Amino acid sequence: MIFAVMFSAINVIAQRPPVISSPDVQADNSIIFRYFSRNAKEVKISGEFLKEPITLKKDTSGIWSVTVPPVTPDIYPYNFTVDGVGVADPNNTHIFANERFKRSIVEVKGNKPLVHSLQNVPHGKVIYQYYDSKALITTRQLLVYTPPNFDASGKTKYPVLYLIHGGSDTEETWTKVGKANLIADNLIALGKAKPMIIVMPYGNVRPAPMPDFTKDVVNDVIPFIESNYPVKSGSENRAVAGFSVGGGQTLNIGLTNTDKFGYICSYAPYTATEEFKKNFTDWSPDAEKINKQVKLFTISVGTDDFLYESVKQNIAMFNEKKIKVNPLIVSGGHTWMNCKLFLAMSLQEIFK
Amino acid sequence: MIFAVMFSAINVIAQRPPVISSPDVQADNSIIFRYFSRNAKEVKISGEFLKEPITLKKDTSGIWSVTVPPVTPDIYPYNFTVDGVGVADPNNTHIFANERFKRSIVEVKGNKPLVHSLQNVPHGKVIYQYYDSKALITTRQLLVYTPPNFDASGKTKYPVLYLIHGGSDTEETWTKVGKANLIADNLIALGKAKPMIIVMPYGNVRPAPMPDFTKDVVNDVIPFIESNYPVKSGSENRAVAGFSVGGGQTLNIGLTNTDKFGYICSYAPYTATEEFKKNFTDWSPDAEKINKQVKLFTISVGTDDFLYESVKQNIAMFNEKKIKVNPLIVSGGHTWMNCKLFLAMSLQEIFK
């Protein structure tokens, strides 16, 4: 009786588009992408596993599809372009956390676990919380990774990595796209990384100028973390890392505070900012002092990165100023695939 | 010198679409929506603040815009439809966490703080973590809200609300759209809700049948939480609540485990499931026993909800079986605006 009445509800739900599976990763690492539209004239897919967009084909039920040949196991951003309009994959829950575009991400697992895969190891937690930023006169959210078997009693103290996202990314991009938490879980389980806290602040400061973010990190974020988590003191227990605009922020934050950061890891830094110009144009550093304070200063970049030439110039500048820098030059572009690699390298080098 | 080289990088970044602000909420609670496309022929907006979609107008630079007249302060889902293709707002970071559609959300704050607003009160944390589900033979993520000034030492113990999302939502929907954490922060600050832990599991179990989720909650999630958090024992310290499909799951989980849940709060339940049929078709409950065990059993729904008639039938069925149920009938539809209201009501009633 009661179920007859519910028929209207079922009908409403039945009017939804058909349940289709996309992306559908196959055993051979090929990927089937599907998109439902009866009315679209053209559906294409662009992905960081493709050199150029490819066109999907429509079947009689309105489901467009294409099979992308086997790709190297990794996590890739992609989007559809439907009659010229870029859209995230409506059937994929996993969205690239970003303020300027809406792309989806697809994980191609392959048959051996990668450093960023969800593996059968003890897992840490990712904590979302608010803090008051006096520098920015607002309440902001940040993410805090605590390692597996984290001792909340305060008896065990941990070193801290401050990890900054790219230009239009958000405080969630390092976990949602960069899998920083899983990379840390896996490397800690292997004994290759020290148990550490990773703090992921929100780095976009608009319209305020960049230096305000340096102030926010140094005067607000660090004291907030150190008064709320069991943290080891001293610059040898503090690292800063970041990608793209966040890589530029890393250089500014780290190199203007070498008494506070023993490790500075800059990934494909974008440095054409007022703050960088102000800090480094007429910079005459006490290189000997900085080289003593900073235990590791790395700059990483891919040879296909659109910033490759400018990053090389950065490295040359630091060499010229006698600042010891370890370059890591790999293949690939300005991508989060490379970001994961760079982070995995850094986690094995810091706090040791 | 170094900056000349960076010009190529600046140019690449300059090729992005213009930075436009959307949604742009005005002081009078009207909202300007903007979308950039030089090629689109038609751009419309659909939102839960609109009776029907309205069309945006394009300026000479390719920016489409429309001003929606003042709306009641709340948080609303919306999306653009560009030449027939539904898309989230590319310039809005806030996405409706869902597996089947990509919508954006806009917060209209108004001039007095609402129960779900970010207010100047102590804030709890939202913790993302993995647990092993034996019922579902997999590792799954859940979210845990811990209240402001949470005592991690184990000395203070807390009651726990298990809170389940709607049908195609995710474990993030109750915080990202439902603002469960902020509602709890605000009501705890006012002394209107008890400090509590809120656990938000991932409720979608496909292709496995519904009863597996009940097993997951009872046999995996609850023991996991109770062995990892300082939790008060006894059914009087355990509540279950949920919306839509999650409201149906709430009825199944709660009413088949009245020894475990002292509070059962079902919001606009969708109940046309095999599990509901199996559990309740020939149900001959010991009403007196259940009414003693369950301190509060509420069913909430809006009069414009497409499930309104079926929910009324549900309430009638429970009345007929002499199960004490408190209906909460409000205006509005099957919406997350109503969800926030229902949760705010429940938080003031449970654990008292």
Q: What percent of chain B has pLDDT over 90?
A: 84
**Residue-wise pLDDT tens digits, B11-32:** 344 345 667 899 999 999 999 9
Contact flag A130-B120 (C-beta cutoff 8 Å): no
Task: For residue B97, list chain A residues with Cβ-Cβ distance below 8 A.
Answer: 93
Q: Is A283 on the interface with B (CB under 8 A)?
A: no
Cα→Cα distances A59→A34, A62, A127, Å: 11, 6, 44
Domains present along chain B, CATH in parentheses? 17-108 (2.60.40.10), 125-349 (3.40.50.1820)
Contacts of B218 (CB under 8 A, 6+ apart): B253, B257, B260
Question: Cα(A189)–Cα(B241) distance, rounded to whole angstroms?
Answer: 36
Contact flag B102-A102 (C-beta cutoff 8 Å): yes
Task: For residue A99, list chain B residues with Cβ-Cβ distance below 8 A.
Answer: 91, 93
Question: Cα(B67)–Cα(B25) distance, rounded to whole angstroms?
Answer: 9
pLDDT of A100 reads 84
Rounded to the nearest angstrom, the minimum Cα separation between B187 and chain A is 17
Containing H/E element for B225?
helix B222-228
- The pTM is what? 0.93
Question: Cα(A242)–Cα(A271) distance, rounded to whole angstroms?
Answer: 12
- Partner residue facing B90 (CB), from A101, A139, A307: A101
pLDDT profile of chain A (352 residues), mean per 10: 37 55 96 93 96 96 96 97 90 91 94 96 98 92 98 94 95 98 98 98 78 92 97 97 97 97 98 91 95 98 97 97 97 97 98 96
- Partner residue facing B85 (CB), from A87, A126, A277: A87
Strand bridging mode B85-87 / B74-82: antiparallel
Place of tokens 């059914």: B235
Burial of B117 per CB tally in 10 Å (0-12, 13-18, 19+)? middle
Count A/B contacts: CB-CB distance under 8 Å: 152
Name beta bridge partners: B43.
B82
Helices marked H in A190-305:
211-215, 222-228, 245-255, 274-280, 287-293
Q: What is the dihedral of CA A243, A247, A253, A255, to 10 degrees?
A: 140
DSSP A293-314: H-SEEEEEEETT-TTHHHHHHH
Task: For residue B306, list chain A residues with Cβ-Cβ distance below 8 A.
Answer: 8-9, 12
SS3 state of residue A9? helix
Q: Cβ(B176)–Cβ(B148) under 8 Å? A: no
Burial of B59 per CB tally in 10 Å (0-12, 13-18, 19+)? exposed
Burial of B24 per CB tally in 10 Å (0-12, 13-18, 19+)? middle
Quick one: which of B209, B206, B182, B184 has its CA closest to B194? B184
- Partner residue facing B310 (CB), from A9, A86, A126: A9
Question: Cα(B98)–Cα(B316) distance, rounded to whole angstroms?
Answer: 32
Contact flag B2-A314 (C-beta cutoff 8 Å): yes
Question: Cα(A129)–Cα(A108) distance, rounded to whole angstroms?
Answer: 31
Contact flag A91-B99 (C-beta cutoff 8 Å): yes
Strand bridging mode A74-82 / A85-87: antiparallel
Give residue B13's identity as a one-letter amino acid code.
I
Question: Cα(A130)–Cα(A140) distance, rounded to whole angstroms?
Answer: 5
Residues 1-40 in B contacting A (C-alpha not used; CB under 8 Å): 1-3, 5-10, 12-13, 16-17, 19, 37, 39-40
Contacts of B134 (CB under 8 A, 6+ apart): B219, B220
pLDDT of A216 reads 95
SS3 state of residue A224? helix
Question: Cα(B146)–Cα(B164) distance, rounded to whole angstroms?
Answer: 17
ipTM (interface predicted TM): 0.92
Residues 39-78 in B contacting A (C-alpha not used; CB under 8 Å): 39-40
Task: For residue A128, list chain B residues with Cβ-Cβ distance below 8 A.
Answer: 125-128, 175
Contact flag B130-A153 (C-beta cutoff 8 Å): no
pLDDT of B314 reads 96
The whole-angstrom distance between residue A148's C-alpha and the CA centroid of its chain comes to: 20
Contact flag B91-A102 (C-beta cutoff 8 Å): no
| Tokens standing for residue B301 | 């729904």
| Tokens standing for residue A344 | 């995995």
Residues of chain B scoring pLDDT < 70? 1-18, 207-210
Residues 184-243 in A contacting B (C-alpha not used; CB under 8 Å): none
pLDDT of B17 reads 60
pLDDT of B38 reads 87
Place of tokens 């979308």: B35
Give residue B338's identity as a one-letter amino acid code.
N
Quick one: which of A332, A342, A262 has its CA closest to A297? A262
Rounded to the nearest angstrom, the minimum Cα separation between B203 and chain A is 14
User: What's the DSSP call for residue B142?
Assistant: E
pLDDT of B16 reads 54
pLDDT of B208 reads 61
- Partner residue facing B126 (CB), from A6, A128, A271: A128
Burial of A32 per CB tally in 10 Å (0-12, 13-18, 19+)? middle
Contact flag B130-A152 (C-beta cutoff 8 Å): no
Rounded to the nearest angstrom, the minimum Cα separation between A125 and chain B is 5
Q: What is the dihedral of CA B269, B194, B220, B315, to 10 degrees?
A: -20
- Partner residue facing B90 (CB), from A93, A102, A306: A102
Question: Cα(A128)–Cα(A141) distance, rounded to whole angstroms?
Answer: 7
Strand bridging mode A74-82 / A104-108: antiparallel
Task: For residue B91, list chain A residues with Cβ-Cβ distance below 8 A.
Answer: 99-100
pLDDT of B1 reads 33
Containing H/E element for A7?
helix A7-14
Q: Cβ(A21)–Cβ(A34) under 8 Å? A: yes
Give residue A162's identity as a one-letter amino acid code.
Y
